Amino acid sequence: MKRTLAAILTASVLMAFTQPSFAATIQEHRDQIQHVVETFRDSIIKKDAATFMQLFLKRDIPWIGVVSDQSLARHKTPNPGKLLPNITPKDYIDAVSQDKTPFEETFENVRIDTDGELAQVWFDYTSYNAGHKQDWGKEAWQLVKTKDGWKINSVIFSVESSPVPGR
């Protein structure tokens, strides 16, 4: 009985001391992923395509936007569809880089979940073109940990467009 109690006590002590180490590692991963989020945002503002593209696992990851019903109702074209046309991260940053007006995305309520190998990031975004609110919605990324650090493997987002262009 004493041996069993001693074994349980020893196992409990070992688990107690290894848990904070695991938590610190997960926090380090969250910090690294937060850096990816900040680099993504900063490279858009700076129109830095090279830095932006280094954040992705591949050049042609899924990049899927879904337009809200309210925004669709404002379109004059018949049946525009809910999904935005297929684009890649390169298409996106090239369009941002070629536009001479200032462009910015802000991120709020950023949530990061990871086990240290896979991660998901979820946040509210707002896009501003020349200082005017252009669109907003929810955005989610999936990331994988590679030998080169955290890489974005997919991007999905909803789009609610401003009813008045440039506002």
Structure tokens at 25: 């590692």
Domain boundaries, the chain: 2-161
pLDDT for 56-108, tens place per residue?
999 999 999 999 888 888 766 666 678 888 899 999 999 999 999 999 999 99
Pick the CATH number of 2-161 from 3.40.50.20, 1.10.3720.10, 3.40.47.10, 3.10.450.50: 3.10.450.50
Burial 115-135 (b: 16+ CB within 10 A, else e): eeeebebebebebbbeeeebb
What's the pLDDT score for residue 167?
Answer: 47
Contact present, 130 and 101 (Cβ < 8 Å)? yes
Length of the chain: 167
Give the C-alpha separation, 22 to 135, whole Å. 39
Contact present, 121 and 92 (Cβ < 8 Å)? no
Query: What global pTM score does this model have?
Result: 0.82
pLDDT for 1-42, tens place per residue?
666 655 555 555 555 554 455 555 999 999 999 999 999 999
